[in-house]
Structure 1
Amino acid sequence: MDLDIVGLSRLQFAMTALYHFLFVPLTLGLSILLAIMETVYVMTGRPIWRQMTKFWGVLFGINFALGVSTGLVMEFQFGMNWSYYSHYVGDIFGAPLAIEGLMAFFLEATFVGMFFFGWDRMSRVAHCIVTWLTALGTNFSALWILIANGWMQNPVGARLNPQTLRMEVSDFAQVLFNPVAQAKFVHTVSAGYVVASIFVLGVSAWYLLKGRHIDLARRSMTVAASFGLASSLSVVVLGDESGYLSSEHQKMKLAAIEAMWHTEPAPAPFTAFGFPDQAARETHYAIQIPWVMGLIGTRSLTEEIPGILDLVKLAERRIREGQRAYDALQQIRSLPPGAAASAALTRTFDGLSPSLGYALLLKRYVDDPRLATEEQIAKAAWDTVPQVAPLYWSFRVMVGLGLFFIVLTGTFFVLSARRKLDAHPWLLKVAVWSIPLPWIAAECGWIVAELGRQPWAVEGVLPTAVAVSNLGIETVLFTLLGFVALYTVLIVVEMKLMLAAIRKGPQPEPVHGDGADVPLIGKVRAV
């Protein structure tokens, strides 16, 4: 990445996003686990389950507060660092963000407050409903964010107004039900469930190793292992769906993930290991597994997956089409106010407008894309290739860890069923040391998603180099360093608070003598 205004703006947003996503997945997963635990409490009336819900709820609350504080800054960055992006696509991108703020965030924040302060003010059933609504709000918030992000990956339901030079919504239903957004949502929340499951599993394993809070630890591990196994398996299945959609909408990303420089005969092999060399445009010491990539990427034995070199040639052709679209756009904009463009000019622009974004890639080299030289067109075509090595290795780290989580949660699921959770201390130690791993996998997933989209802010529509604000390098560098310092302090604060809460452990729950702990099932039977 060049450390110019574009590179620094990208780095700033990447750093704040990666910091923010340290908090998000744990919030997503813990909210569901809390709801499961409290549901068991309502059904059984056993105080241990109430104690578990309140204990893990404290950790949820700490993480939730810091997640909100770090997330707010990211929305302001669209106006600060990406002003032309906000102008060009704000009508589409702003809608799900506004809905997220007005609906999901207020829903989430309201019920979070009721969760913490309503234990002794509501019935058990009412409080359990609040906990489920908290989980719903948390996940609903993620839905709208990922609808916005999914549109950046696959811009549907929108068209460019040539007079205002702004993208406008043409079909909001397409934006909402964008298949890329839906796949990203279920994949991302499943990854969050894995993060929380491994976290609960690891902390509970630490308690068993220390001989503390045995009842809480065993029950927590049982829930986490079961939920974590289901979530780990779903992440793999939903990740496969994301890969399949990439083969339809983001072919260059898929080719870069595989370091596939040349189009392979169908079905394409999967490169399990190798060393991508972007300068030489080849992958050294590649170890390939036949057919696997073709089956994952196309779900067929006959469809080819295009390689990077062929996709560059396609990009060059689309750049030339984009130049013609840009010329038609300028002719339309040069008409006197109130004058209508000719039918032929309108047809030309409408037919070529899907390639207009490719012409904007030339803005990096020349003010008027129509005046670009052959050399500049070739450079712009190669700009569509993201950084291959980081994508290649991030994807493989993510996949490798995903398989490890299936094995880990599956092992503890079996041990839980056999009531032998503490039979193998070395496995408990593995669980403790595995706590950071799902965060690494989640961050690698975002690197794959966002780095693979480059050089586009919006895939095929708006290049990143055009979307940036006209700021000084010193300004962006200063704020970048400031955000990194502030977020680092927040992470240290969170870790200290979380560790203090874990060391302190759960507070004992009094057993009420007024029938409050009679199981709901027993009350129904009595009636």
Structure 2
Amino acid sequence: MIDMTVVELSRLQFALTAMYHFLFVPLTLGLSFLMAIMESVYVMTGRDVWRRMTLFWGVLFGINFAMGVATGIVMEFQFGMNWAYYSHYVGDIFGAPLAIEGLMAFFLEATFIGLFFFGWNRLSKLQHLAITWLVALGANFSALWILVANGWMQNPVGAVFNPDTMRMEITDFMAVIFNPVAQAKFVHTVSAGYVTGAIFVMSVSAFYLLRGKHKDIARRSIAVAASFGLASALSVVVLGDESGYAATEHQKMKLAAIEAMWHTEPAPAGFTVIGLPDQSGQSNRFEIKIPWLMGLIATRSLDGEIPGILELVERAEHRIRGGQLAYAALERLREDRTDTAARAAFDAHWSDLGHALLLKRYRDDILHATEQEISQAALDTVPRVAPLFWTFRIMAGIGFYLIAFFAFAFWVVTRNRIEESRRFLWIALWSLPLPWIAIECGWFVAEYGRQPWAVEGVLPTFYAASGIALKDILISLAGFVIIYTGLAIVAAKLMLKAIEKGPDVLAPPAGDDAPAAVDDDAPESDGRALDALDPAPAARA
């Protein structure tokens, strides 16, 4: 029998490390493009203030990038430590995009980051601008391959189970790359990262304006972030709708759980704005619904039907029985690989094999499972509804708030009243944590909503875990929490220290003898290499 305590602690460990890591990834994505935009303006205008902006935000980007690397590399080793059977079962598919991410995207990004910081005096303006854009593209390529791997876990296309090797093997790598779920997740995730970068720039710049410091850089930074953030916030909602449409096609149970839709409704289904899901009673209390809205969003039609949770449980029970046929055929093939009848039976039902593996939680001999065990295994395909219901609404609510926020910011900037709008500056400052809250909620919905599957419909989560001792899990879990919390504190302190020093120290005006306060429209002088967080420039200033 499987020790579910070990499984749950393994899940908790991976969730904590992944969510710690994703504190840094979105800001890396957003700041990289904002830096590229700022340096593009510098190259076009020759005004030194734009070079200083690029350098200043580049220091904060570098701190964040280093922390992202430190938390991300360790996270991947958990596949071999806590999820060894997962690595064996689907490593042929899952490992390929991760390897490409490391070899192509990550090394590309890391190499050009070095050139970004140390190439100001060694490269021409156009060459350095190309480097900055390559840093931004490298960050996005890195996210692409990670999300291709994750998207395959949500919608496992381009692969089949090989009864000869007893593992999943890739058959169409292009199908894996162009997986509709992966593509929808990629554009939605990177857009959320752009919003995070824009909010970060606006919040820090608002802090400077409220204190009357570094106005030349703060005003321009807010102008760039307001425009970039508005376009990104709008795209997050549009691309989030595309991600939801992909879930309608490929992850029906997740969608039904997010909406707490227990029964199939006549098309088009209504959208539950608020309510109290009751999983034991399989109903919702105090719900407020908008007629037709969910059907229009999820199916983009008036007649498209969204199946409810209970109907999907019935479908799962049918697939479990089909999976038992595949498992029986597999047992015969293991005894005689030339058994053509068994091979034909397996080929007809292999796609349901993962559902049969859900019975392994209750008995090893799944071919003799009772009706009660089959019913319970089918009911296990329902994730916990209330956490999904509420985290999705928190994410969506913050998303719509950010659209309104950036729209107002854009209006204030176009009217050139940013310094006069002190109330708005305070709102910008206190809005800083909202993108991170929304993003973490989004990842929770994506990953928790897939349960009980490590790979949707293919490999149950409890079956993917390593059989390691409980004490080892507890020790590693405590170690990860302590180390990652320490890294988060270090990152926060470094960022705050850099912000306190300000752009006049981290990105001084060109020329050793230039004063700290410079003309906003000063022409370019010879560049100087960045000396991040070095107190010497402060003394000179």
Tell me which interval the TM-score lies in, with the shorter structure as reference length: over 0.9
Q: Which amino acid aligns with 1:365?
A: Y
Q: Which residue of 2 aligns with 1:509?
A: 509
- Secondary structure (helix, strand or coil) at the match of 1:9 reads helix
How far the C-alpha of 1:346 sits from its partner, in A, is 2.1
- Opposite residue 420 of structure 2, the aligned amino acid is A
Change (3 A) 1:3 1:219: farther
Contact 2:4 2:462 in 1 (8 A): no
**Matched AA of 1:431:** A
The aligned residue for residue 263 of structure 2 is 262
Deviation of residue 119 (structure 1)?
Answer: 1.0
Deviation at 1:347, TM superposition (A): 2.1
Alignment match, 1:64: 65
Alignment correspondent of 1:153: 154
For the pair 1:436 / 2:433, whether they are aligned, the reply is yes
Aligned partner of 1:406: which letter? I
The equivalent of 2:287 in structure 1 is 286
1:389-426 residue CA offsets vs partner (Å, 9 max, x unmatched): 11001100000000010011111111111111122211
- What does residue 484 of structure 1 align with? 481
Structure 1 position 511, deviation (Å): 5.9
Deviation sequence 1:324-353 (CA, Å, 0-9, x none): 110011111111xxx5221x3222111111
After superposition, where does 1:338-417 map in structure 2 within 5 Å? 339-342=337-340, 344-417=341-414
On the 8 A contact 2:269/2:306 being kept in 1, the answer is yes
In the TM superposition, what whole-angstrom CA distance separates every residue of 1:484-513 from its partner, at most 9, and x where no partner exists? 111111111111110111111002312699
* 1:230 has 2:228 as partner: no
Q: Is residue 518 of structure 2 the alignment partner of residue 495 of structure 1?
A: no
Question: Which residue of the partner structure matches residue 421 of structure 2?
Answer: 424
Note if 1:466 corresponds to 2:449.
Answer: no
Mapped partners of 1:430, 1:8: distance in 2? 39
In 1, the alpha carbon distance for the partners of 2:85 and 2:422 equals: 56
Gaps of 5+ in 2: 514-521, 527-541
Aligned pairs, number: 513
Which residue of structure 2 aligns with residue 168 of structure 1? 169
Aligned amino acid, residue 121 of structure 1: R
How far apart are the structure 1 equivalents of 2:523 and 2:404?
A: 40
The TM-score with structure 2 as length reference comes to 0.93
Quote the Cα distance in structure 1 between the aligned partners of 2:414 and 2:146. Answer: 38
Query: For the residues of structure 1 that align with 2:511 and 2:111, how far apart are their CA atoms?
Result: 29
- Partners of 2:452 and 2:461 within 8 A in 1: yes
Quote how far apart the aligned CAs of 1:517 are: 2.3
Whether the aligned pair in 1 keeps the contact of 2:510 and 2:525 (CA below 8 Å) is no
Whole-Å Cα distance in 1 between the matches of residues 51 and 253 of structure 2? Answer: 50
| Mapping for residues 16-35 of structure 1, pairs under 5 Å | 16-35=17-36
CA offsets 1:419-461 (integer angstroms, 9 cap, x no match): 1112221111010000001000000000000000000000000
In structure 2, the partner of 1:186 is 187
Kindly state the Cα deviation for residue 304 of structure 1 after the two structures are TM-superposed. Answer: 1.0
Is 2:93 the counterpart of 1:92? yes
| Offset from partner CA, 1:197-243 (integer Å, 9 cap, x none) | 00101111111110001110010000000000000000000000010
Distance 1:391 1:196 in 2: 26
Q: Are 1:445 and 2:434 an aligned pair?
A: no
CA RMSD of aligned residues (A): 1.5
1:4 alignment partner, SS class: helix
Other-structure match for 1:297: 298
Determine if contact 1:92/1:169 at 8 Å carries over to the other structure: yes
Shift of residue 3, structure 1, vs aligned partner: 6.4
**Equivalent-residue separation in structure 2 for 1:318 and 1:111 (angstroms):** 49
Structure 2 residue identity aligned to 1:505: G
- In the other structure, the counterpart of 1:138 is 139
- Contact kept, 8 Å, 1:108 with 1:134, in 2: the verdict is yes
- Aligned residue for 2:77, secondary structure, equals helix
Gaps of 5+ in 1: 520-527
Please give the secondary structure, in 1, of the residue aligned with 2:424. helix
CA displacement at 1:29 relative to structure 2: 0.5
Q: Distance in 2 between matches of 1:292 and 1:165?
A: 44
| Contact 1:453–1:459 (CA under 8 A) maintained in structure 2 | yes
TM norm structure 1:
0.96
Aligned residue type for 1:412: A
Q: Is the 8 A contact 1:44 1:518 kept in 2?
A: no
